[in-house]
Amino acid sequence: MPPPEKISFDEMFEASDMTDVVLIVEGKKLNFLSIHSDYFKTLFSANFREGQMKEIEIKEVSYEDFGLLCSSFYPNPQFPNDHTVGKLLEMASRFQVPSVIGIVEYHLLNNSRIGYEKMIWMADEYVMPKLLEKCVNQMNSLEKAKQLKKSPEFNKLSDKTSSLLFRHLLEVV
């Protein structure tokens, strides 16, 4: 599947009467509505008085990556695909945007062609309970368990998920 059509982040981040903060990413100003992110709501409420225009520089993130995150929930949202889910989950986790994790989980549950091993790791790492349940239920043979154990994702799984897999496997074999 080809990557999605490129959208203009500059247009997406134009000033509007909804803007409550200006974020600066790689020297570019992004007009932002903090209600979409628990991270930014907390940051702004702790550091600024109401009614002031706020500017905050966001470091250690690229403009493209931040734009990708915001394009998931800004007007005319772009839906995730298998090329973007990894970066979206990383960014949504960092900036506490649970709605994006939910959108990605929906994609992974219904549209993705990502392999089982990577999918179960993402479900575990980014706390996507429906996807985790689906992945655990797919563990239905010793062959599948051996394949998972050989994957690089296996050692990244939490003890809780490993236990769920083990218990499920004991029920089906």
Supply the pLDDT for residue 19.
66
Q: 1-100 adopts what CATH topology?
A: Potassium Channel Kv1.1; Chain A (3.30.710)
Give me the residue spans of the domains in the chain. 1-100, 115-172
* Arithmetic mean of pLDDT, 128-154: 95
Contacts 24+ apart (CB under 8 A), 70-74: 70/9, 70/12, 70/13, 70/30, 70/32, 70/36, 71/7, 71/9, 71/12, 72/97, 72/99, 72/100, 72/103, 73/36, 73/97, 73/99, 73/100, 73/103, 74/12
* Arithmetic mean of pLDDT, 19-39: 80
pLDDT at 114 over 70: yes
Check residues 131 and 23 and name the one with the higher pLDDT: 131
pTM of the predicted model as reported, rounded to 2 decimal places? 0.82
Check residues 109 and 1 and name the one with the higher pLDDT: 109
